Amino acid sequence: MPTVVLMDSSLSMTRPVSVEGSEEFQRKNLAVHGLTMLFEHMATNYKLEFTSLVAFSSLWELMVPFTRDYNTLQEALNNLEDYDKTCLEGALQGVSNVVQQEWGSACPCQVVLVTDGALGIGRGSLRHSLQTVKQRGEDKKFPLPFPFPSKLYIMCIANAEELQATDGMDNLEQLINLNGGDGQIYTMEGPLCLKSVQSMFGKLIDQAYSPFHAVLRCGNLTSDVQVFPRPEPVIIDEEVDPMPKNVQTDLEIVGFIEIGDISSPPVLSRHLVLPIAVNKEGDEIGTGTTDDTEEDTSTNQMAGKSPNFCVLLHGSLKVEGMVALVQLGPDWYGMLYSQADSKKKSNLMMSLFDPGSEPLPWLGRMSQLGPASDAAENPYGEDDSKSPFPIQPKHKRSYAQNVTVWIKASGLQTDVQKILRNARKLPEKTQTFYKELNRLRKAALAFGFWELLKSMAELLERECTLLPDSAHPDAAFQLSHAAQQLKLASSIDSKYAAFEHNITPMLTDFSGGGGDRI
């Protein structure tokens, strides 16, 4: 989930903070301090997150495009200049553009807005923007809600009292609601100082950037893993089932399926599954700050040399072309597979299916999947030539069952012509002739289209008179028999008008039921 840091660089950010003591800070310094802490945390624990930095005042500027290079971000942050007044609407539009250009509109993003809560005055102020939200044309719409799924975190370099004194707090709350309610406003507790800014960003880190650690299990084989990006809670039906579902930290493999059988299933999200080494204190190796890198590498080297289940699983999944089904929670499943990137490097990847008992129709109910060895007969065949998947639905779809649709005249004409074409080739085409005739008959009965039955009967009778002398004598018998039966169907005679009744070929002396060559 990429992050956009939206940094207020308006003049009001340079307001000094009154501290008893030695140094004098600007609010901007506090903001930079907080963000530095965030970047440091990400550089060590959330390395794979793409982050970009946008600065804004009355204009906005993309300072650093999406990157994993936190040094670049830090450098840009340190060199931020001060500009004029705050104009949030334009900046939010900027964020929207930056994200969509890079990731499209399906990728969820986090936006971290850092501001002092002085949201401008007059035109261009947030207050003004929010007041006019409803009176806008299509071309000048307010940028929220963002077109992509997003969480908006607002870091205020101000305390709650300060914001509540003006309408700043209300406006910011409105902003989050406009975006769908996902996100939070953080304010500083107590005096504005380095300590309180640290505690505020600490809360953000806990909330949004804590790594997701889990145990991947396959029977008794296990591996400690980090799942990145961390899986977000999912709500299935906000009415019947409004509780968000969370991925549990115990990822249990339930079995294996061929890639061809699972065949490109739709997924909610994709995550890297990275094995991690857990040392005695229960800390992840690599969480330490930069100064103990030496120790780090040595432990990493150790970890690299001891066998890890993830690596084994990845290797075998890749070689065999299979996926592992993994249970993420009650009635929630996902799959593990090997994913190769363009550079031929490959990784263990996990995709989450929709929560529910039957996320993929072609696999059926997940709880009904059991070990193939339990089946009376090997469902994959002795030589791996068969597969129990996909599961066939109970009813065939319309396009798989030769339905009759006469909404367009051409549909009806085609069906009539098909019958006449076969009528001219009697008795060779007796089977097809009656098959098509019965199809037409059924549809006409269902649609209450008796007129068609009569017309068809007449057409067949005329065909009979037009038969050439060379025609097989059986043809004439079959044609008049069929015409007769159609007429009966359009009368109220229950026996012949029954939907399930089929017109069968007349038994004649010539062929014993027609030369049934198809």
> Least CB distance from residue 366 to other proteins, whole Å?
6
Candidate segments 76-84, 192-200, 259-267, 502-510, binder of other proteins by CB under 8 A: 259-267
Q: Of 191 and 361, which CB lies nearer to other proteins in the complex structure?
A: 361
| 373 makes contact with other proteins (CB under 8 A) | yes
84 contacts 11 by C-beta, under 8 angstroms: yes
Candidate segments 38-46, 71-79, 179-187, 372-380, binder of other proteins by CB under 8 A: 372-380
The whole-angstrom separation of Cα 28 and Cα 157 is: 8
Q: Which of 64, 175, 328, 363 binds other proteins (CB under 8 A)?
A: 363
| 341 makes contact with other proteins (CB under 8 A) | yes
Here the contacts of 331-336 (C-beta below 8 Å, separation 24 or greater) are 331/355, 331/356, 331/357, 331/366, 331/367, 332/245, 332/247, 332/356, 333/254, 333/359, 333/366, 334/267, 335/257, 335/262, 335/265, 335/267, 336/216, 336/253, 336/273
Q: Which of 21, 122, 400, 495 binds other proteins (CB under 8 A)?
A: 400
- Contact string (CB under 8 A) for other proteins, positions 299-338, x = contact: --x-xxxxxxxxxxxxxxx-xxxxxxx-x---------x-
- Contact string (CB under 8 A) for other proteins, positions 94-113, x = contact: ------x-xxxxxx------
The whole-angstrom separation of Cα 128 and Cα 167 is: 12
- Please, what is the angle between helix 473-489 and helix 430-446, to 10°? 10
The whole-angstrom separation of Cα 112 and Cα 208 is: 10
> Least CB distance from residue 497 to other proteins, whole Å?
7
- Site of tokens 């807005």: 113
> Least CB distance from residue 466 to other proteins, whole Å?
7
| 193 makes contact with other proteins (CB under 8 A) | no
| 62 makes contact with other proteins (CB under 8 A) | no
Task: Please list every residue from 130 through 169 that binds other proteins, using CB under 8 A.
Answer: 147-148
- Contact string (CB under 8 A) for other proteins, positions 436-475, x = contact: ------xx-xxxxxxxx--xx-xx--x---x---------
Which residues neighbour 467 within 8 Å (Cβ) at sequence distance 6 or greater? Answer: 475, 476, 479
Does residue 43 sit in helix, strand or coil?
helix
Q: Of 25 and 256, which CB lies nearer to other proteins in the complex structure?
A: 256
518 contacts 432 by C-beta, under 8 angstroms: yes
Number of residues this chain uses to bind other proteins (CB under 8 A) = 147
The whole-angstrom separation of Cα 250 and Cα 248 is: 5
Q: Which of 181, 411, 502, 516 binds other proteins (CB under 8 A)?
A: 411
> Least CB distance from residue 467 to other proteins, whole Å?
12
413 contacts 484 by C-beta, under 8 angstroms: no
